[in-house]
Amino acid sequence: MGNYIVSALKYRPTNFNSVVGQESITVTLKNAIKNEHLAHAYLFCGPRGVGKTTCARIFAKTINCKNLSGDFEACNDCESCKSFNEDRSYNIHELDAASNNSVEDIRNLIDQVRIPPQIGKYSVYIIDEVHMLSSQAFNAFLKTLEEPPAHAIFILATTEKHKIIPTILSRCQIFDFHRIEINDIVKHLEYVAKSENIDYEADALTIIAQKADGSLRDSLSVFDQIVSFAGNNITYKSVIENLNVLDYDYYFKLTTAFLNSDISNVLLIFNDILNQGFDAHNFLTGLSKHFRDLLVCKDEQTLQLLEVGAGIRDNYGKQSALCSTDFLFTALNITNSFDLNYKISINKRLHVELALVQLANIVNLKKKESEVEKISKATLKKEDFTDKEQSEKKEVGHSISSSIKTEKKKEIKLKHHISSSPSIKDAFNGNLLNNTKQKESDSDSHLKANEDFGDNKFTHDELISAWNKFTEKVKTSKPHLCSTLSTSVPILKENNVIELQILNPIQENEIKTEKTDLVNFLKQELKTNNISLQYVITEKTSKKVKLYTDADKYEHLNKINPNLEKLKQQFNLDFK
C-alpha cells in the first residue's frame, strides 16, 4: 500500500504562476525580485487557506535561485532549488509561533540570524501565526526585525493582523491576502479532478467551493472527502448528501408555493426538511440567500454576483422572472427579521413556521392593497363629482338670493357664520353640542339685530346691564371669554363709542375674535345700529421692592436684639 498524499499538499503551488486567486500579490513580489528591491521584513495576513505560507515559501525559494527564468520564476534545477524541493535547505527556516512564543525562543532565533547562508544569498525566516507571540517576545524581536543582517529576510504570516502590535507593523511591508473567489476554486478543483482522472458535475464542484468559504485548502480537503465517499464520480447528489447541504430544489419549491399562497404545501416542505436532519436556523439563512440570488438575477449587471453552477443558474433565471421586485424585497425583510429574532425565540419551529406563513401571504396582501387603492381612487372621483354638483347648486342659489338680499345683510350674515363656527378647543371641552344649540337659539336675535334702530342714544347703566347679560350668556359655552368680559371695564364715550379697558393683549385678541357677536348683541339690547368698540390696555403699577443685603438684615436684627453683636464676636462670624 503506497503512501497517500492529500490533495492540499500534492497540488500545493510550487511557483508564483500556480498560486490561485492572489495575482496582485504574486506580481508585486516578482517585480520586487526583478528590480532587486527586497525588503528585510514582510507581513502576509489574511484568512486561512488562501496561500500565505505557500507564497512565503515560493518567495524564499525564488530569491535564492541561481538561474531565474525569463518571468522570474525558480528554475528547480540549481542546488538551492533542489535542496528546497527535497526539504533539506538550510537557507529557509520556518518557526511556528503558536508553540514557540516565548522570549527564549526569540533569543534563539536572533542568535541563529547571525549565521550567513551556506548556499544562496539569503537566509529567510518564516514565522507562522506570528500574532501568538507574547508581548515580551515581540519587544525582544523589535530591534532585530528593524535592523537585521544583510542576508536575513523575515516573512511573518498571520490570520489576525489586529493582534500584532503597531511597532511590528511599522517595520514590515504588509500584504493582505483576500478570500479566493468561488470561480477560481472551481477551476482549480476541475484541474485536480482531471489530473486524478475523476469524473465530476460542475454543480457538485460549485457546492464544494461554496462550503470552503474562500479557502482553497479547505476546498481540497472537502474534495478528498467526497472522493472517499463517492469514488471517482462526483455528482451533485453525492455532494449534498455527504456535506448535509440542503438541495436548491427545496428553495425553488418553497418559492413557487409562496407565489401560489399555498400555506399547507409550505408547511409540509418545511416538515420534510426537518425530518432530514437540517437545522431550522441554517434553513432560514439559506432561504434569505435564495431570495437575494433571485433579486440579483433581475438585472444583467448584477448577474455576475450569482455564484452557482450553470444548471442551477438557469433555474434561478426562470423563477426570478416570475417574482416581482416588491415580493422579493418584502420576503427579504421578513426572513431577515425572523433570522435576527431566532435565538431569543422559545419555540424555534413555530418561529420559522410563522415566517413561512407570512411569506405565503405576501401575494394576497399585495392584491388586497391594490383593490383598496382602486376603491379609494373611485371614491375620490365620485366625491369630486359630487362636490362639483353641490358647488353649481350653491352658485345658482347664491345668484337668486343676491337679488333679494342687500349687501349689508350679506356682510352681517358672513361675519355671523365665521364667528359662530365651532372651534377645536370647544370640541375638546365638550362644548360642541352646546355651541350648536346656542347658535340655533341665537339665530333670531341676530336677525333682529339687523332691524333699523337708527342712531339711538343709550346710557352707561344700560350699557353695563347689556354687557352683564352677554357675559352671563357665554358663561357656559365660552368660559374664557366670560372671564375676560368680567375683568374688562366698558366706558361709554361720545357718539356711542365704547372704550374697553383690558389687562393684556391676550384678552384683546380673545375679544376681537368674538367682536361680531358682542356688538350685534349690544345693538339688539340697546336698540341702536351705531356702536363702535375700542380697546385700551391698562398697565398695573407695581411697587418697587428694595433688595436687602446680609449686612442690612443684620443691622436690622441687631437693633431688635443687641446680643447678636456679642454672638458674632464670640464665634468670629462674618458675612460671605
Name every residue whose Cβ is closer than 8 Å to that of residue 22 and which is 6 or more positions away in sequence: 50, 51, 55, 177, 178, 180
Asked if 194 and 221 count as a contact pair (C-beta separation under 8 A), the reply is no
Domain check: are 379 and 448 in the same one?
no
Mean pLDDT of 398-407: 48
User: Cβ of 233: how many Cβ atoms within 10 Å?
Assistant: 12
Q: How many domains does the chain have?
A: 6
d(CA 149, CA 142): 14
**Structure confidence by residue, pLDDT tens digits, 144-203:** 888 888 899 999 999 999 999 999 999 999 999 999 988 899 999 999 999 989 998 888
Residue whose cell numbers read 343676491:
402
Write out the residue range of the structural domain in which residue 514 sits.
420-537
Name every residue whose Cβ is closer than 8 Å to that of residue 485 and which is 6 or more positions away in sequence: 467, 470, 471, 474, 511
The angle formed by the CA atoms of residues 421, 424 and 429, to the nearest 5 degrees, is 105
Mean pLDDT of 515-522: 82
Using pLDDT thresholds of 50, 70 and 90, give the confidence band for residue 2.
low
Final residue in a domain of this structure, among 141, 176, 211: 176
Domain check: are 235 and 260 in the same one?
no
CATH number (domain holding residue 198): 1.10.8.60
**Structure confidence by residue, pLDDT tens digits, 200-259:** 888 889 989 988 888 899 999 999 999 998 888 898 888 888 888 888 889 999 999 999
pTM: 0.59
Asked if 193 and 200 count as a contact pair (C-beta separation under 8 A), the reply is yes
Mean pLDDT of 332-346: 92
Domain check: are 438 and 516 in the same one?
yes
Domain check: are 461 and 400 in the same one?
no
Residue 304, CA distances (Å) to 114, 115, 216, 248, 309 in order: 52, 53, 21, 19, 12
Name every residue whose Cβ is closer than 8 Å to that of residue 8 and which is 6 or more positions away in sequence: 217, 220, 221, 224
Residue 327 burial (CB < 10 Å; 0-12/13-18/19+)? Answer: buried
pLDDT of res. 439: 44
Domain check: are 213 and 310 in the same one?
no
pLDDT of res. 349: 92
Q: Is the pLDDT of residue 542 over 60?
A: no
Domain check: are 352 and 472 in the same one?
no
- In the sheet that holds 173-176, the strands lie side by side as 92-96, 123-128, 152-158, 41-45, 173-176
Q: Is the pLDDT of residue 79 over 60?
A: yes
Domain check: are 36 and 162 in the same one?
yes
pLDDT of res. 381: 65
- Helical residues (DSSP H) of 403-514, grouped into ranges: 407-420, 424-428, 432-448, 460-473, 479-487, 505-513
